[in-house]
Structure 1
Amino acid sequence: MSVQSSNGRIQTVSLSELSYLKVHGRTTGELAPLTLFWTGSAIELNVQGSELWVEVESQYDMYEPWISVLINGVPVSRQMLTAGRYGVCVFRGMNADVVKNVRIVKDVQAMSGDPGCSLQIHAVKSDGTFLPVEEKTYKIEFIGDSITSGEGAIGAKAEEDWIPMWFSSIHNYTFMTAEALNAEYRVISQSGWGVLTSWDNNPKGNIPNVYEQVCGLLAGERTEALGAGDHHDFSSWQPDVVVVNLGSNDGGAFQSPEWKDPDTGKVYKQRMNEDGTYHEEDLAAFEKAVERFLFKLRKNNPAAHLVWAYGMLGFPMMPAIYRAVDAYTKETGDRKVSIIQLPDTTEETIGARTHPGELSHRRTAEVLAEYVQGMLG
């Protein structure tokens, strides 16, 4: 793509040639091209120039990627990326002498239901120069389900279609909490998934099983070739805080029909007692899963504060989460583990697809940022 700017020729620079580039989100470290796997993954640049383009490559069978563009911390555009490799104009006609902080953010979660879905960035094109990006004060990792993926955080309350359009990584408590704390952040999340099982009782839909891979919930030859199944190098990025917002789908599994494994014929079901209480054995299995995940998190993030944050769509699993965290702390003596109940979503704060809307995310971010700030001093 050849573009003439008002100030001269646009230069194409591949990401691997950029002196100053900040990559957000878990990746393989490969820059030629860079694959953005998770929601909230991004490239960040400081550009002194009048015009900037980014060369993207988008592929999918069902669920197209979306991106948001932020200039100087403010979202200025959001768009669907149709299939193909092409240039997207980020800005043009701006004051060439002024430095712009630019973030191009993947707005949609890694799609476990679409093995053909990928978003890659090959190069940037500009008439300006690139300058160093300032480091943030803290690092936070968020782990969760559809709430953390920002499902329904954008769009009218009436929307019911399960499509990428209604996902947002920006109208999202993860982004808002990180902004409030001046933190760099990463997100590991998947709609419908839990600690032990997904909302429909499928035991394969659990985040702990894929936590140690770059993006282990993506199957299929294409994503495998991109390195999604590679072991994640935890030493490359150590968070100060890990926030786990899981449990909503585990709770939902008790209310959902059984799931039958098509390969083995084995049936899975989190059971309710006749009096409406949770089956003791099944609740204990959930608690054990929470405990095991805390061990895994601590092994990989030895110095981080571990915060279990839960409650944006009700909090029926809270007593079980308390018991599990208590059991873990008693066994390990680990004092850097805590629990926070998040503000429940109301009729006023609900968004699309009966999920938390932007107001709900904002309320949660205020509560969570204050809590985390107090912890970090």
Structure 2
Amino acid sequence: MGRVDIQPERTMLAWSGTSAKINFNGTGVKAVLQDEGGNNYYNVIIDGTVTQRIQIDAQKHAYTLAANLPKANHTLELFKLTEWAMGKTWLYEFDLDAGSALLAAPAIKKHKIEFFGNSITCGFAVLDTTGKDRGSAPYEDNYQSYAAITARHFDAEYYCTARSGIGVLVSWFPQIMPEMYDKVDPSNLQLKWDFTRYTPDVVVINLFQNDSWLVEHPEHPEFKARFGDKKPTPAQIVAAYQTFVKTIRSKYPKAQIICALGSMDASREGSPWPGYIKQAIVGLKDKSIQSFIFPAKNTPGHPSKKEQIDMANQLIGFIEKNVKW
């Protein structure tokens, strides 16, 4: 599940929330894995319950995912917690215990959802309880992001196209979302995603947090690269957002699109950024595009585990009220 690159000998997982899932009858499973740099973490989920969090190293070898289970039918899922900036992971095979058997693949879910987002959607620093807002791999957990929680609530297929620090007009690094949204592996510009492989019912776009900071920092190299010495006007900001949303609409003509913002300071009271989104939607004249602004959490740093749960509950309520699956 998610944007994975499936080849005969191995499958590459890069994006947050990508996963591999099997049904089997037996007592245990290993997986042969190799990581690009040893910075990626995964949840092992047995029969719907997270049983362990594992770090994958740069050597190709087998990892025990499940052992000493009752000999019965089970489901195993390997879920990527860290974002593609932490590197790629290659899955070579699942190796079942002796006397075990692979069963038919899990059924495709009825509902499908995709998120385009930044660090908030990635689950940046969600595990950091010290208040230091650390964004390194040990503290990131996409499974506990509002996006993944929302997808699980609706029992939906889940695709997460997100990277910390990314924006629509400008990012903290050279690439922006309109240049990244169509990649299987964003570090490989030639490997583009085939949008016919997955058609979401609902698309949630939660961007502009990083733009809201960077347009106020003309000294930043990415500001200079994108804008020169003059910040974009509100009209230019709105137009850029409209262009990106229209691009997503061109890929998913029938999807219901939710243009979200928050829950950090870009959605605070008095911020112009919610207004830019609402103005863009009015100009698009598309009845299947709606806005949803998460209330600003008004606490330092990125959303905590509790704040991610709050965001999920808010979004779930909005979808239940406004979206027809």
TM norm. shorter chain > 0.5: yes
- State the Cα distance separating 1:38 from its structure 2 match: 0.1
- State the Cα distance separating 1:78 from its structure 2 match: 0.8
The yes-or-no answer on 1:362 pairing with 2:309 is yes
Gaps of 5+ in 2: none
Aligned ranges 1:62-211 → 2 under 5 Å: 64-97=39-72, 99-111=73-85, 117-127=87-97, 128-132=100-104, 133-198=106-171, 200=172, 204-211=174-181
Q: 1:214 aligns with which of 180, 184, 190?
A: 184
- State the Cα distance separating 1:269 from its structure 2 match: 5.7
1:337 corresponds to? 289
Structure having the higher Rg: 1
Asked whether the equivalents of residues 287 and 321 of structure 1 are also in contact (C-alpha less than 8 Å), the reply is yes
- State the Cα distance separating 1:325 from its structure 2 match: 1.3
Counterpart-to-counterpart distance in 1, 2:118 and 2:194: 23
Distance 1:324 1:261, change over 3 A: closer
- State the Cα distance separating 1:52 from its structure 2 match: 0.6
Asked whether the equivalents of residues 182 and 192 of structure 2 are also in contact (C-alpha less than 8 Å), the reply is yes
Distance 1:74 1:268, change over 3 A: farther
Asked whether the equivalents of residues 192 and 205 of structure 1 are also in contact (C-alpha less than 8 Å), the reply is no
- State the Cα distance separating 1:208 from its structure 2 match: 1.3
Counterpart-to-counterpart distance in 1, 2:284 and 2:64: 50
- State the Cα distance separating 1:261 from its structure 2 match: 6.5
- State the Cα distance separating 1:372 from its structure 2 match: 1.9
Percent identity of the aligned residues? 22
1:287 corresponds to? 238
The yes-or-no answer on 1:307 pairing with 2:307 is no
Counterpart-to-counterpart distance in 2, 1:74 and 1:87: 21
Question: Partner letter of residue 87 of structure 1?
Answer: A
Question: Partner letter of residue 302 of structure 1?
Answer: P
- State the Cα distance separating 1:343 from its structure 2 match: 3.4
Please report the RMSD computed on the Cα atoms of aligned residues, expressed in angstroms. Answer: 2.2
Counterpart-to-counterpart distance in 2, 1:307 and 1:160: 28
- State the Cα distance separating 1:289 from its structure 2 match: 1.1
Counterpart-to-counterpart distance in 1, 2:250 and 2:302: 32
Asked whether the equivalents of residues 278 and 291 of structure 2 are also in contact (C-alpha less than 8 Å), the reply is yes
Counterpart-to-counterpart distance in 1, 2:200 and 2:148: 15
Distance 1:268 1:297, change over 3 A: same
Helix, strand or coil at the partner of 2:296? coil
Q: 1:230 aligns with which of 182, 188, 191?
A: 191
Q: Please report the TM-score for the alignment, with normalisation by the length of structure 2.
A: 0.90
Q: Please report the TM-score for the alignment, with normalisation by the length of structure 1.
A: 0.79
